[in-house]
């Protein structure tokens, strides 16, 4: 297990290094200086930037300085928002985005698993078709279109929910719904198909031959094995939800990191783009790592496989 | 227990004419005859796909869509990018089937031009992914050993890169255009395909018929062409059908960030994003048509992919 | 001795896309207390379906027990509720599956899988369950049982896993054990050990065994009686000696000729030509007709009448008919 963790850690570090290097290469390859083109930045900002990025030094020094600042978690000043650093923006925006993402993932996982299990148990029945219909819908409709539809139907027309912002649980319903539908659909489909496969396994037949009750068979024997693949796609789903927040926060005017990120792209606020990208990459890669570890704990075969590999 | 004779169900032997008790040369040809006609893999898969109504709906929709993407603009008297401000936000009518947008442009015409671009992005991304994936995954799987090990480590590292963040980063620098979007989508997109191809090749490589053909001294290139590729095609095709909608979605997402196809060209994504606000002012059609076609295309590719997965799965062959 | 199990005229069908498969078409047999009955036949002949039907474990849909009766110790199992069946499964009748690699849940410890049946049915304390589990592990010959209870299936070899599966099946002390190809997935040396284990547990616990196999070699050692199945029907049944030394049905003879034997030196192995009939539309007459070297006109038209060679030896073949016996003189050269 330790060896497994160390191996994953090493790969994680290389991936992070690639991201950091990539952002650096992109920064220096932007035609002209990214910080002084036609942008109407004032002189203090300009001076701050040049100081932070050591723009008068050779590239390799700039590179090492950049890596150093990334390790120290310092992403420098913003161009467009004077007197604000990227860290200020992250500190303000990320907790809100994190809250949105966390609620979304909880909703998506719970409803997706329930939907998938029910569909599998009622295989080829009405409930199965209904659940899979919902799932196909969820996968097909892009979240920004769903968000717009929800606002128009449930907020503007029906006035059940507020149109925008993030101030009370009622405000959270529509953004979470818009963001969770896609991942929920993916989880539901995956749970259903693995559940169906697991239910044909010999150990399920064996459990039935032992005379166990259906509930015990489902929860003790089937679900645990059926959820393994769901755990493996959690990393991808998290990435999807995270990029989804860019769109959803923009549409619902939620003052999270995603909104700042989209604005920084529109204004070509390079330090914010780079800083957020690096920050989110670190976050996601760490999540992937945790998912891997969780998988190793859930599936006893992994541990031993690693031991045998020694 | 006595094994009771069952005269009640069985015909009594005394009723049987004596001349039936003659030797009959049993027809060996009949004995050897396989119970049901055997179908080739692809015939069989097609037969099963045809039974899947949902997948066939998707397939028919896509064929119509491709047809309209090619010929739709010809059917329309309007030019795709010509503004006609006096006629902005016309409701769908006999002259403008899908209405007009904020610049008075005909939504019907723009929808088919958008289809060309969205489908082109999706198909090109899938095609490039497959090409790189087959070469990379094929080499890794076929060579095996150290080569495979190193190549898989590289994949593991790339797999950790957050796909859309990298795409955004690339487009910020390269500037959005049709080419750069496709490039950005495929820079890390091929990794998934390579993994699948490698897995398939590793598995099939060890099948007896491949070992047999090796032991006859068949050339490597021929083994790859005749054995490995045809037998790993199933999952590759499925993965391709699922890559197209995710690329179309990614392009629409990028449009939302202002990193999509730039006007005056329009993909469905840019059309939808330009109209997100319009829906609140009641001009629903400007959003509805591009949104409908994005969603339905993703739906069609997804159900087709599912159907193909079932149809091409050799385990399900009966 | 009394009959512990009586199966009469059992019919099982499966509806598939291609039509209805008549997997079991009128199977009748019985099992005495403490006896081992082997059901032998090639794959697809309906022997596993028969065993699943006894446990009422035919997945429905697509499977369905069309008619017939199954009586366990006089009780009719066909019309029991699912709940009642659950209290019979594992307690009165247990089952072992072919592949020990897949019959154990990979994510649960051996101990938890061993004990769950006991705890489900007898509501015993964890402590008592554990003691019983250790006792069973010892019975099936696993050393250091207390330690090994905490391990996962992948930490055991195939033979060891099959021993665990057997322990699992026996932990509630059932009276009938159905073993579906218990040795097929194992190495030959391990096969012998597992068969010895069956003999041992039968001696210790007195359990009756139905052994399902396609391998006559396996049967030779431990079966008391043998039923030969072909295309969903039992075509010959008798004491082990009857089947091995006085087989009557051409199919049984064919099976015996295709088993390698050490005692008959120099004898050639002869395969049975052809393939079994399509069970979507089973033939009206004898299902072996198309492959039978002694086929007569009647064989294709009417299913053969049951002939009782002795009290315990029965065969369904037209060659037993008096008129056919007159033909023996003109036997075609085979």
Residue C16 phi, psi (nearest 5): -125, 180
The 10s digit of each residue's pLDDT in C11-34 is 888 887 777 888 888 888 888 888
Residue B169 vs residues A39, B24, B174, B231: alpha-carbon distances, Å: 19, 81, 9, 38
Res B34 pLDDT > 50: no
pLDDT at A34 over 60: no
Q: Tell me how far CA of residue C96 lies from CA of C139, C170, C177, in angstroms.
A: 16, 10, 8
* Token code pair at residue A115: 């939907």
Which range of B286-290, B310-314, C229-233 scores highest in mean pLDDT? It is C229-233
Listed in sequence order, the residues at least 6 apart from C131 whose beta carbon sits closer than 8 Å to its beta carbon are none
- What's the average model confidence in pLDDT over A55-83? 78
CA atoms of B212 and A132, how far apart (whole Å): 43
Pair of tokens at residue C73: 């110790």
DSSP C14: E
Instruction: Tell me what percent of the residues of chain A surpass a pLDDT of 90.
Output: 11
Tokens of A247: 């769109």
**For residues A242 and A3, what is the distance between their CA atoms, to the nearest angstrom?**
30
Q: What is the DSSP annotation of C250-270?
A: HHHHHHHHTS--SSSTTPPP-
Q: Which long-range contacts (CB under 8 A, 24 or more apart) does A47-50 make?
A: A48/A76, A48/A77, A49/A76, A49/A77, A49/A79, A49/A271
- CA gap C5, C7 in Å, rounded: 7
A243 touches chain B (CB under 8 A): yes
For the four alpha carbons of A209, A213, A214 and A217, in that order, the dihedral sign comes to negative
Is pLDDT at B33 greater than 60 in this prediction?
no
Buried/exposed code over A136-166 (b: 16+ C-beta within 10 A; e: otherwise): bebbbbbbbbbbbbbbbebbeeeeebbbbeb
Contact A273, B151 (CB under 8 A): no
Of A141, A247, A251, the CB nearest to B295: A141
User: A35 is written with which tokens?
Assistant: 């910080």
Which residue of C290, C312, C324 is in closest CB contact with B26? C290
Distance CA C308, CA A88 (A): 94
d(CA C173, CA C169): 8
At A34 the three-state DSSP class reads coil
Q: What is the largest CA-CA distance in chain C?
A: 72
d(CA B157, nearest CA chain A) in Å: 5
pLDDT at A305 over 60: no
Sheet holding C233-239, edge to edge: C93-96, C176-180, C208-213, C36-40, C225-230, C233-239, C314-316, C306-308
Q: Which two tokens stand for residue B206?
A: 């060890």
User: Whole-angstrom Cα distance, residue A149 to residue A146?
Assistant: 5
pLDDT band at B127 (very low <50, low <70, confident <90, very high): very high
Q: In this structure, what token pair is assigned to residue C207?
A: 């359990």
DSSP H helical segments within B102-219, as ranges?
A: 107-143, 145-159, 163-174, 178-187, 190-205, 208-215
Q: What are the CB-based long-range contacts (under 8 Å, 24+) for B37-45?
A: B41/B230, B41/B314, B44/B317, B45/B234, B45/B308, B45/B311, B45/B312
ipTM for the predicted complex:
0.80
What pLDDT digit, counting tens, does each position of B162-204 carry?
A: 888 888 888 888 888 888 899 988 988 899 889 888 888 888 8
Percent with pLDDT over 70 in chain A: 87
Contacts of A19 in chain B (CB under 8 A): 161-162, 166
Provide the pLDDT confidence category of residue A304 given band limits of 50, 70 and 90: very low
- Chain B residues with CB inside 8 Å of C321's CB? 13, 21
Nearest CA among A195, A198, A204, A220 for reference residue C97? A204
Choose, out of C85, C103, C123, the residue to mutate when testing the contact with A (most A CBs < 10 Å).
C103
CA C286/CA B26 separation, integer angstroms: 12
Q: How far apart are CA B81 and CA A31, in angstroms?
A: 30
Angle A144-A145-A149 (CA atoms, 0-180°, nearest 5)?
120
Nearest beta carbon to residue A206 from set C86, C103, C152: C103
pLDDT at A180 over 90: yes
- Taking phi over 0 as left and psi of -120 to 50 as alpha, with beta for the rest, A254 belongs to beta
Q: What's the rounded Cα separation, in Å, for the pair C127 and C131?
A: 6
Q: Which residue has the tokens 């068969």?
A: C195
CA nearest to A304, candidates C109, C166, C190: C109
Chains with ≥3 CB–CB distances under 8 Å to B: A, C
Q: Where are the alpha helices (DSSP H) in A220-299?
A: 224-226, 228-251, 257-266, 270-298
Show the 3-state SS of A66-123.
HHHHHHCCCCCECCCCCCCEHHHHHHHHHHHHHHHHHHHHHHHHHHHHHHHHHHHHCC
| Below-50 pLDDT ranges, chain C | 333-334
Show the tokens assigned to C242.
């009857």
Euclidean distance between the first and final Cα of chain A, in Å? 11
| Residue C178 three-state SS | strand
Structure tokens of A114? Answer: 């329930």
pLDDT value at A112 more than 90: yes
State pLDDT tens for residues C95-128. Answer: 888 777 788 888 888 888 888 888 888 888 888 8
Angstrom distance (rounded) from CA C286 to CA C39: 19
Confidence of residue A101 (pLDDT cuts 50, 70, 90): very high
Q: Which of A253, A257, A285, A287 is nearest to A273 (CA)?
A: A257
pTM: 0.80
Exposure pattern of B27-63 as b/e (b: 16+ CB <10 Å)? eeeebeeeeeeeeeeeebbeebbeebebbeebbebbe
Rounded Cα–Cα distance for residues A242 and A240 (Å): 5
> Closest to B30 (Cβ–Cβ): which among C17, C290, C302?
C290
* Contact call for B28 and C17, based on CB within 8 A: no
Interface of A with C in 279-298 (CB under 8 A): 298
Residue of B nearest to C292 (CA): B26
* CB proximity A173 to C under 8 Å: no
Interface of C with A in 3-62 (CB under 8 A): 55, 57
A300 in contact with chain C, both atoms CB, cutoff 8 A: yes
- Give me the pLDDT at residue A70, please: 82
Q: What is the pLDDT of residue A306?
A: 41
Closest chain B residue by Cα to residue A153: B280
- CA atoms of B121 and B267, how far apart (whole Å): 9
Residues B118 and B268: beta-carbon distance below 8 Å: yes
> Residue with structure tokens 């939800």?
A241
- Regarding predicted confidence, which is higher, C20 or A50? C20
Direct distance between the N- and C-terminal alpha carbons of chain B, in angstroms, rounded to an integer:
39
Mean pLDDT of A53-79: 78
Q: What is the pLDDT of residues A212-270, one digit of tens each?
A: 888 888 888 888 888 888 888 888 888 889 888 888 888 888 888 888 888 888 887 88
Q: Taking CA A189 as the corner, what is the angle to CA A185 and CA A192, rounded to the nearest 5 degrees? A: 135
**Euclidean distance between CA atoms B135 and B139, whole angstroms:** 6
The partner residues of C104 in beta bridges, in order of sequence, read none
Residue of B nearest to A251 (CA): B276
Alpha helix positions (H), chain C: 47-54, 82-88, 100-103, 110-122, 126-139, 145-148, 158-170, 188-205, 216-222, 240-245, 250-257, 297-301, 322-327
Which of C90, C104, C155 has the CB atom closest to A304's CB atom? Answer: C155
Distances (CA, A) of B144 to B137, B201, B232: 10, 10, 17
Q: Closest-CA residue in chain B for A243?
A: B164
Question: ∠ CA C200-C203-C208 to the nearest 5 degrees?
Answer: 105
Contacting residues for C171 by C-beta, under 8 A, at least 6 apart: C114, C115, C117, C118, C132, C133, C136
Least CA distance to A298: which residue of chain C? C107
For residue A109, the model assigns a pLDDT of 93
Is omega for the bond preceding C32 within 30 degrees of 0, making it cis?
no
């Amino acid at each position: 297990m330790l060896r497994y963790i160390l191996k994953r850690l090493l790969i994680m570090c290389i991936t992070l290094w690639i991201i950091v290097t990539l952002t650096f290469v992109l920064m220096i390859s932007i035609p002209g200086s990214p910080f002084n083109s036609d942008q109407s930045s004032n002189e203090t900002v300009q001076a701050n930037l040049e100081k932070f990025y050591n723009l008068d030094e050779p590239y390799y020094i700039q590179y090492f300085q950049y890596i150093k600042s990334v390790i120290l978690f310092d992403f420098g000043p913003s161009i467009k928002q004077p007197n604000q650093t990227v860290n200020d923006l992250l500190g303000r925006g990320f907790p809100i985005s994190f809250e949105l993402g966390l609620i979304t993932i909880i909703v998506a996982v719970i409803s997706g698993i329930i939907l998938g299990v029910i569909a599998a148990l009622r295989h080829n029945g009405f409930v199965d078709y209904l659940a899979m219909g919902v799932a196909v819908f969820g996968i097909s409709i892009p979240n920004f279109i769903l968000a717009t539809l929800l606002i128009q139907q449930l907020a503007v027309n029906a006035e059940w929910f507020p149109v925008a912002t993030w101030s009370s649980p009622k405000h959270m319903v529509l953004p979470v719904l818009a963001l969770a539908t896609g991942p929920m659909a993916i989880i539901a489909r995956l749970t259903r198909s693995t559940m169906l496969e697991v239910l044909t396994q010999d150990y399920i037949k064996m459990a039935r031959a032992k005379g166990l009750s259906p509930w015990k068979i489902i929860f003790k024997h089937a679900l645990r094995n059926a959820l393994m693949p769901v755990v493996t796609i959690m990393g991808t789903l998290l990435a999807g939800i995270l990029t989804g927040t860019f769109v959803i926060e923009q549409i619902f005017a939620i003052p999270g990191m995603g909104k700042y990120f989209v604005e920084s792209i529109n204004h070509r606020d390079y330090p914010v783009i780079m800083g957020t990208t690096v920050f989110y990459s670190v976050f996601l890669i760490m999540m992937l790592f945790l998912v891997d570890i969780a998988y190793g704990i859930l599936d006893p075969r992994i541990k031993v496989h690693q031991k045998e590999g020694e | 227990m006595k094994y009771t004779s069952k005269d009640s169900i069985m015909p009594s032997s005394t009723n049987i004419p004596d001349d039936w008790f003659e030797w009959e040369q049993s027809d060996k040809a009949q004995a050897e005859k396989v119970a049901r006609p055997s179908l080739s893999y692809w015939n069989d898969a097609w037969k099963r796909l045809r039974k899947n109504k949902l997948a066939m709906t998707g397939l028919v929709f896509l064929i119509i869509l491709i047809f309209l993407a090619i010929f739709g603009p010809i059917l329309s008297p309007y030019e795709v990018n010509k503004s006609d401000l006096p006629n902005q936000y016309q409701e769908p009518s006999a002259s403008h089937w899908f209405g007009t947008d904020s610049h008075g442009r005909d939504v019907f015409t723009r929808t088919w031009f958008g289809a060309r671009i969205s489908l082109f992005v999706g198909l090109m991304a899938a095609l490039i992914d497959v090409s790189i994936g087959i070469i990379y995954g094929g080499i890794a799987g076929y060579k095996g050993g150290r080569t495979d090990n190193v190549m898989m480590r590289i994949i593991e590292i790339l797999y950790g890169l957050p796909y859309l963040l990298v795409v955004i980063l690339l487009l910020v620098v390269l500037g959005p255009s049709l080419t750069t979007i496709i490039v950005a989508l495929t820079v890390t997109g091929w990794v998934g395909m390579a993994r699948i191809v490698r897995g398939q090749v590793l598995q099939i490589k060890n099948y007896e018929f491949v070992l047999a053909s090796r032991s006859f001294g068949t050339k490597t290139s021929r083994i790859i062409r005749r054995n490995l590729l045809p037998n790993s095609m199933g999952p590759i095709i499925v993965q391709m059908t699922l890559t197209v909608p995710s690329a179309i979605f990614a392009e629409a997402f990028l449009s939302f960030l202002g990193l999509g196809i730039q006007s005056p060209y329009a993909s469905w994504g840019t059309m939808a994003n330009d109209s997100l606000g319009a829906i609140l002012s009641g001009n629903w059609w400007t959003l509805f048509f591009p949104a409908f076609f994005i969603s339905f295309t993703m739906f069609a590719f997804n159900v087709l992919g599912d159907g193909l997965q079932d149809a091409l799965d050799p385990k399900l062959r009966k | 001795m009394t009959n512990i199990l009586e199966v009469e005229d059992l019919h099982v069908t499966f509806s598939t896309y291609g039509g209805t498969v008549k997997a079991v078409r009128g199977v009748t047999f019985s099992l005495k207390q403490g006896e081992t009955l082997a059901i032998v036949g090639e794959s697809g002949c309906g022997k596993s379906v028969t065993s699943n039907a006894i446990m009422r474990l035919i997945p429905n849909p697509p499977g369905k027990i069309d008619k017939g009766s199954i009586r366990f110790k006089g009780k009719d199992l066909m019309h029991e509720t699912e709940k009642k069946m659950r209290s019979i499964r594992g307690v009165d009748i247990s089952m072992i599956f072919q592949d020990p690699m897949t019959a154990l849940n990979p994510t649960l410890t051996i101990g938890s899988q061993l004990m769950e049946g006991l705890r489900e049915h007898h509501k015993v304390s964890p402590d008592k369950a554990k003691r019983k589990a250790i006792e069973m592990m010892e019975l099936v010959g696993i050393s250091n049982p207390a330690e090994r209870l905490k391990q996962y299936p992948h930490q055991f070899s195939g033979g060891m896993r099959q021993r665990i599966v057997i322990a699992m099946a026996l932990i509630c002390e059932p009276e009938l054990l159905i073993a579906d190809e218990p040795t097929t997935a194992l190495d030959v040396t391990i096969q012998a050990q597992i068969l010895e284990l069956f003999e041992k547990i039968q001696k210790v616990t007195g359990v009756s065994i139905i052994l399902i196999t396609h391998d006559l070699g396996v049967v030779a050692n431990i079966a008391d009686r043998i039923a030969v199945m072909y295309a969903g029907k039992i075509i010959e049944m008798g004491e082990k000696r009857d089947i091995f030394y006085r087989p009557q049905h051409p199919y049984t003879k064919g099976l015996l000729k295709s088993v390698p034997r050490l005692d008959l030196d120099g004898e050639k192995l002869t395969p049975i030509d052809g393939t079994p009939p399509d069970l979507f539309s089973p033939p009206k007459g004898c299902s072996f007709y198309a492959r039978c070297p002694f086929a007569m006109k009647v064989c294709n038209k009417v299913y053969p009448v049951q002939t009782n060679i002795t009290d315990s030896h029965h065969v369904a073949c037209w060659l037993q008919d008096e008129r056919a016996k007159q033909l023996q003189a003109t036997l075609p050269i085979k």
